[in-house]
Each structure stands twice: as C-alpha cells, then as structure tokens.
C-alpha cells in the first residue's frame, strides 16, 4: 500500500508541474531560453538513459522468465515499439495548430499584445486538452515505474515534471491572450496536469487486479518506448525551438550522467 501511495504522489507531483510553468509565466517578464533548453535536454537524457539501460532490460528479464528467452525477447521488443506507436497515434490525432509542442514565450503575454479572441481561447482550451491527453500515458508510465522500481521512479518523475513546465506556458499564453484573465489561464494549465494522476488512477483500478510478471513486463517495455519517443519527438525539438541547440545536448549528456550515477548508487 505504501508503494501505491508513493507512486500516486510522484505522479501527482509530475502532473501539477504544468501549474509551475503557468506560475512562472505570470511572475517573470522574459523566458529564460537557456535554462529551458538545458532543462529539456536534461529531462530527455534522463528518460532515454533509464529507458534503454534499465527499464527495457528489466522488462525483458520479467518476460523471458515468464515466456522463455526467444518469445520473451520478441514480446519485449514488440511492447517497446508498441509504446512508441501509442504515443505517436495520440500525437497524430491532435491538430497541429493545437499541439502542445508549439513553443510560447512569457514575453508574448505583454498586455499591449493581448486581444480578446474566441479563436485564441479555443486554441488555449484545446492545447490544455492536448496536454491532458499527452500526460495520461506519462502518468501511467510514472505510476508503473514507481510500483516496479521506486529507485528509478524519482528521476523519471523529475524528468516528466521538467517537461511539463513549458507545456504549462503553452496552455497559459493563448488563454491569457484571449481573456486577459490570469486566474483562468492558470486554472486551465493546472487542470491539464491532473490527467497524469488520473492516468495513474485508471492504471491502478483497471490493471492492478490483473498484474503479474507478464503484464508488468509488457507495461514496462511499453513505458520505455513511450519515454524514448517523448524525448525524441517532444523534448529535444522543443529545446531546439528555444534556440539553444548545443545547450540542449549538454543538458542531455548531463541527464544521462546523473541517471547513470543514481542507478549505480542503488546497486
């Protein structure tokens, strides 16, 4: 039971960091592109390293123990790319104009630029919905990781939390543009992050009665695929859009080093 509460707590923390992004937008005048670029790269490094080095092989071990070496190895690979396919399909279903990967800067919230526009409000609300849809499998990923391996769940949650900060800005800016209401912009941003703990709750209610080594192995391999795809499709391109390509790579390497050291400490 303690593990379940720990997993929910981590997932809630990661999800609500969209609210931090929104709060940053309201209390600072300018986007710190260097900080965001390094942070997003760091997050990608953590997620790629832990997925490929730790999660994938734990999933493979679990599945080969259940199904044998050959079939277990095949199922691991299929589940890994299945996770990628799931998140890619979610991406494809979201119209590009309302995709949460579109970058916004805090200085866009200048009152002189703001104008009331229903289209912008619609875009902001749909961006919040898109972020929510994206965060749902991330919530499940964090929750499953925390249940299976609490030692690797904390850096995963931190990485997803960092990734959620610019998404919070992406929701807040168009809603504020359209309404001039900071509270409403923060509310939609905060709300979009709640889908991560909801993803964890759905995972707990639907999957927990059936959990065994086979299900855990498939889920864990899928989680690895989801996190690698998010890193390559969202985090690194977002870091580049903020205009600091080399800093994002330095952040990526730093994230990998930190993740590697943290895993070595738990041996």
Task: Please say if the pLDDT value at position 45 is more than 80.
Answer: yes
Other beta carbons within 10 angstroms of residue 266's beta carbon come to 10
Which backbone phi and psi does 225 adopt, to 5 degrees? -65, -45
Side-chain-side CA neighbours of residue 19 (13 Å)? 14
pLDDT digit string, tens, across residues 84-98? 998 888 777 765 444
**145/161 Cα distance (integer angstroms):** 15
Residue ranges at the known binding site for Fe(2+): 135, 138, 164, 167, 196
Which of 56-60, 147-151, 188-192 shows the highest mean pLDDT?
56-60
Q: How many structural domains are present in the chain?
A: 1
pLDDT digit string, tens, across residues 182-215? 788 788 878 878 878 887 888 778 777 777 788 8
Average pLDDT over all residues of the chain: 77
Nearest to 33 by CA among 97, 106, 113: 106
Instruction: Look at residue 110 in the predicted model and tell me its pLDDT.
Output: 52
Nearest to 67 by CA among 229, 243, 212, 267: 212
Residue 107 within a domain:
no
> Which of 43-52, 99-108, 160-169 is predicted least confidently?
99-108
Domain range for 145: 1-97+112-265
Residue 102 within a domain:
no
Residue 103 within a domain:
no
Instruction: Look at residue 210 in the predicted model and tell me its pLDDT.
Output: 75
Residue 230 within a domain:
yes
CA dihedral sign of residues 164, 169, 170, 175:
positive
Residue ranges at the known binding site for Zn(2+): 138, 163, 167
Residue 6 within a domain:
yes
199 versus 116: which is more confidently predicted? 199
Residue 104 within a domain:
no
pLDDT digit string, tens, across residues 125-136? 666 776 676 677
Instruction: Look at residue 119 in the predicted model and tell me its pLDDT.
Output: 59
Residue ranges at the known binding site: 135, 138, 163-164, 167, 196
**143/206 Cα distance (integer angstroms):** 13
Task: Please say if the pLDDT value at position 112 is more than 60.
Answer: no
């Amino acid at each position: 039971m303690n593990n379940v509460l720990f997993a929910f707590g981590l997932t809630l923390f990661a999800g609500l960091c969209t609210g931090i992004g929104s709060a940053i937008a309201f209390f600072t005048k300018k986007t710190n592109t260097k900080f965001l670029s390094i942070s997003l790269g760091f997050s990608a490094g953590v997620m790629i390293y832990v997925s490929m080095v730790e999660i994938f092989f734990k999933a493979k071990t679990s599945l080969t123990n259940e199904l044998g070496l050959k079939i277990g190895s095949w199922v691991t690979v299929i589940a890994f790319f299945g996770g990628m396919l799931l998140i890619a399909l979610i991406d494809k279903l979201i119209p590009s104009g309302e995709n949460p990967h579109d970058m916004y800067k805090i200085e866009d919230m200048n009152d002189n630029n703001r104008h009331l526009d229903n289209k912008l409000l619609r875009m902001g609300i749909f961006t919040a919905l898109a972020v929510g849809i994206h965060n749902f499998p991330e919530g499940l990923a964090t929750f499953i990781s925390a249940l299976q391996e609490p030692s690797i769940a904390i850096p995963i949650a931190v990485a997803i939390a960092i990734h959620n900060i610019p998404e919070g800005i992406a929701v807040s800016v168009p809603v504020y543009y359209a309404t001039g209401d900071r509270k409403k912009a923060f509310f939609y941003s905060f709300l979009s992050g709640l889908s991560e703990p909801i993803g964890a709750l759905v995972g707990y209610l639907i999957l927990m009665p059936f959990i065994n080594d086979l299900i855990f192995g498939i889920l864990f391999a899928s989680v690895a695929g989801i996190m690698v795809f998010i890193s390559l499709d969202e985090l690194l391109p977002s870091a580049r859009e903020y205009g600091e390509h080399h800093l994002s790579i330095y952040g990526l390497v730093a994230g990998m080093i930190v993740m590697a050291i943290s895993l070595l400490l738990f041996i």
